[in-house]
Amino acid sequence: MSHTFRSLRSRAALTCALLVAPLIAGLSGCGGSPDPLSAKPYDAADQISFSGDGDDRKADPDKPLEVTAKGDDSRITDVTATDAAGRYVRGELADDGKHWRSTVPLAAGAHYTLKVSTEDSNGAPGRRTVDFTTSSARRLLKVTFGPKAGQYGVGQPVTAKLSRPVKDPKARAVIERALKVDSRPAVEGVWHWVDSRTLHYRPQEYWPAHATITVHSNLKGIRIGGGLYGGGAKSLRLTTGDRLEALTDSGTHQMTVKRNGVPIRTIPITTGMPGFDTRNGIKVVLAKESAVRMTGASIGLGAGSYDLMVHWAARVTKSGEYVHAAPWSTGSQGAANVSHGCTGMSTANAEWFFNTVRLGDIVQVVHSDGEDMAPFGNGYGDWNMAWADWRKGSAVAAGQPDATPADSARLRPQV
């Protein structure tokens, strides 16, 4: 049995050898014709030119990058241009392969790597790789984000201050797209142009409690328009604490303070008397001063009307509206409005409020005969603007459908 197996195996081996031999002979016959796909590209330096060539001069970022094939015996087959971060520059290649031109602006003061593939009249591939830089911008737009890094209440807007005024809608859109705000948990927000040098960013509702908000700019080196380029910007990281809201009811003379939606204290208060009515609306704590001097002269009264050192003062407007201790009005607190616009309470309650709130926490006044809090110019009244109107102040979001239904009425988040 084993002898028979060896004979079969020998015949099989011989058959395979006979089949392989012609195959090897056929391969040997093709050895003189190299595969054109495996050919090593030749140096195409003499066959192309580009707009950054010569005398170590830098490319002009205000002009498109252009690559041209020289002579009649070569054509461009592919062009890639990338910056130091690996981002590609889009461009268009002419149908005849003689010219390639970038279709997006180059960044100023940036390093690029240009790779050009060619072929000659015989189809042989060529390659040229060039590193070049663009010249620095003569006019830079710098951005400063605010507020300072730290922990804030859920009502704190993000701000961006520009070093130069920008009015052109297209330039504003370039800037907005480069200013990035991310939060965890994620919420949708929009930039709003307060004026030509100031932007505010907020979500539709308050920030989530215990969120992390990061802000950075991708504007550096980007062409904005009119010879203006983006400059550097220091990134910003904010966090929020509990959702703390104080509802100040001028009609009932009570303040209800809630933490994460749960009432934690009700405080008898007094607000502005007729003629000095406290502003209605949503305000944000701007500052905390354990002692501040208040005078009648600062609000247009006679120099001798009053001059007091006030304690445990939380400021909510730039014009001087505070929540503070008012021991001189304890008889009216919870019963009548007798202040010159501030919200007064007992010293003990004011000290508790002062130690409980942080910058960015919400103070909302209702049922006052005063004017409405302005969205801008007197502190952070941003939340008094309806979301649909807020989006209209964006150069990017204006006119685009919102992911959530817009509130056409005045925004008044419930506290």
CATH of the domain at 81: 2.60.40.3780
Written as six digits, the tokens of 124 are: 């042989």
pLDDT exceeds cutoff 70 at 1: no
Of 240, 274, 297, the residue that ends a domain is 240
- 342 and 256 together in one domain: yes
pLDDT exceeds cutoff 90 at 394: yes
Condensed to tens digits (0 to 9), the pLDDT of residues 151-185 reads: 999 999 999 999 999 999 999 999 999 999 999 99
Question: What one-character-per-residue DSSP string does 135-182 give?
Answer: PPPSEEE-EEEES-SEEE-TTPPEEEEESS----HHHHHHHHHHEEEE
- 164 and 127 together in one domain: no
Lowest mean pLDDT among 37-41, 199-203, 338-342: 37-41
CA distances from 166 to 96, 106, 163, 226 (A): 42, 21, 9, 10
Q: What is the count of structural domains for the chain?
A: 3
**pLDDT attached to residue 400:** 77
Query: Residue 66: which domain range?
Result: 42-133
In a domain, 392, yes or no: no
- 151 and 255 together in one domain: no
CATH of the domain at 223: 2.60.40.3710
In a domain, 11, yes or no: no
Of 211, 240, 269, the residue that ends a domain is 240
**pLDDT attached to residue 230:** 95
Q: Between these two residues, 48 and 14, which has the higher pLDDT value?
A: 48
pLDDT exceeds cutoff 60 at 28: no
**pLDDT attached to residue 303:** 57
- 248 and 375 together in one domain: yes
**CA pair distance 212, 150, nearest whole angstrom:** 10
- 195 and 121 together in one domain: no
Tell me what percent of the residues of the chain surpass a pLDDT of 90: 69
Helix (H, G, I), strand (E, B) or coil at 52: coil
Tell me what percent of the residues of the chain surpass a pLDDT of 70: 83
- 236 and 248 together in one domain: no
- 146 and 106 together in one domain: no
- 154 and 251 together in one domain: no
- 257 and 375 together in one domain: yes
**CA pair distance 180, 144, nearest whole angstrom:** 13
pLDDT exceeds cutoff 70 at 18: no
Of 133, 149, 176, the residue that ends a domain is 133
Active site residues: 324, 342
In a domain, 17, yes or no: no
**pLDDT attached to residue 39:** 63
- 370 and 258 together in one domain: yes
- 301 and 366 together in one domain: yes
pLDDT exceeds cutoff 80 at 305: no
Condensed to tens digits (0 to 9), the pLDDT of residues 245-277 reads: 999 999 999 999 999 999 999 999 999 999 999
Which sign, positive or negative, has the C-alpha torsion 319, 325, 328, 334?
positive
- 95 and 123 together in one domain: yes
β 244-249/254-259 pair status:
antiparallel
Lowest mean pLDDT among 123-127, 169-173, 311-315, 369-373: 123-127
CATH of the domain at 360: 2.40.440.10
Quick check: 166 and 141 in contact, CB under 8 A?
A: yes
